[in-house]
Structure 1
C-alpha cells in the first residue's frame, strides 16, 4: 500500500478588499472603543458612542456581505461537517501549516461568536445609561425599562470582548510560532496558499510547500 499523495497547493485570491477593510476598521474601532470606555477620565463618551455607531454600520455591512458577497466571505463557507472539525482538531498539534481555504473550522465558529457578541454589545449600548458617566445611550430616554438590562449587559460583555480579542491574537501567534503559518499577510493583500479544491477562477498559481 502506498501513502496517499499530498493535496496540491495553490496560491489563491481569498479575501476581497471589502472584507479586508472591514476587518481592520472593525479591529480598530473595537480596540479604541474598549480602551476609551475604560480609561476616559472625564466621563464624556462621545468618541465611544461614535465608534459604537461605526461598529453597528460595519456589522450591518458584514451581515449583508456574508449573504451576497464572494464565497470566502459568505457565512455558509464558515460551516463545516463533523469530520472537518475532527480532522482540524487532530491536526492542531502537528507542526506544519494547515492551509485551510478560508477560515478553519474553529476560526469559522469564532467569527459567528465574535460578531454575535459585538452585535449584542452595541445594541445594549443604545439603551445603557451608566450612573458614573454623563452620556447615555440614544434610546435610554425612550425605553427606560430597558436601561438597567442594557447597562448590565454592556458592562458584562466588555471583558468578554477583551477575552475574545486576546484569544484571536493568541490563535494568530500559535499559527505563526507553532505551525509556521502567518495568517496576517492574507488579511492585508488578500492572497493565501491553500490546499484542496478551490474555484478555478480564484487560483493565481500552483506552488510547492517550499515555495509557500
Structure 2
C-alpha cells in the first residue's frame, strides 16, 4: 500500500506504552539477577516494580483509554484459537487493537508474572525480608516456593518468546510494524471508503 492510502490511528496511549516497555525492562533485570546473592536487592526491587506495574495495568484495564480496557479486547479462548487457525492460513482478520490471540497472551502473561512476583515476595519473606516478612507467608516451605517462583519465571520467558513470535508473524501477515506501533502508539491503516 502506498502511504497516501493509509491513515494514522492512535491506538496505544502513552501509559500503556510506558507500562509495556517498563515491564520488559524490569522483568529482564529481575531475570538476569536471579540467584545471585550480591544482586538480590536489585532483583527484589525489580520484582516490586513489576508488581506495581501490574496493579497499574489492572486498574488501567478498567478505567483507561479505549484500547487499554480489558472490555475492549478480552474474549473467550475459543476466539483466540480461531484467530490462530486463520493466521496459519493467512486469512486472519486485522484488528486495530489487540487481536484475540494477543488478548489471551496479555491475560496469561499478567497471571504468570503476578504469580512470579508474589512467589518471589513470599520466598524473600522466608528469609525475613520484604513486606511479607512478618506474615504467615514467611512460614511457607522455602523449597516449594522457590520451585513455584522459578517455574513461573521460566514460563513467563516461554510466553514472551511466543508473544514476540506472534507479533512478528502478525506484523508480516498484516504488513504493519507492531513493534513500532508499541513505541509510537500509532498504527497505519487503509483509508476507509
What secondary structure is seen at the aligned counterpart in 1 of 2:187?
strand
Compare CA radii of gyration and give the structure with the larger one: 1
1:12 aligned residue (9, 13, 17): 9
Match of 1:146 in 2: 140
Q: CA–CA distance in 1 between the matches of 2:91 and 2:64?
A: 31
Q: Deviations over 1:110-153 (max 9, x none)?
A: 1111011111111111110499xx88554245323224343332
Quick one: distance in 2 between partners of 1:65 and 1:192?
Answer: 21
Deviations 1:79-138 (Å, cap 9, x if unpaired)?
A: 23688546523430345784311110010011111011111111111110499xx88554
Match of 1:49 among 41, 44, 58: 44
Counterparts in 2 of 1:86 and 1:135: CA distance versus 1, 3 Å: closer
Unmatched 5+ stretches in structure 1: 1-7, 196-205
For the 8 Å contact 1:125–1:137, the answer to whether it is kept is: no
The answer to whether structure 1 residue 121 and structure 2 residue 111 are counterparts is no
Do structure 1's residue 32 and structure 2's residue 29 form an aligned pair? yes
For 1:158 and 1:85, the matched residues in 2 are separated by 24
Report SS of the residue matched to 1:193. strand
Cα 1:92–1:151, aligned 2, differ >3 Å: closer, same or farther?
same
Contact 1:67 1:75 in 2 (8 A): yes
Structure (1/2) with the larger helix percentage: 2
What's the counterpart of residue 160 of structure 2?
Answer: 165
1:134-187 Cα distance to aligned partner (Å, 9 max, x none): 885542453232243433321221210110111112112223445533211111
* Normalised TM-score (structure 2): 0.81
Distance 2:34 2:148 in 1: 14
Counterpart of 1:68?
Answer: 63
Structure 2, gaps ≥5 residues long? none
Output the aligned Cα RMSD: 3.1
Between the two structures, name the one with larger relative contact order (CA 8 Å, sep ≥ 6).
Answer: 1
TM-score normalised to structure 1 length: 0.75
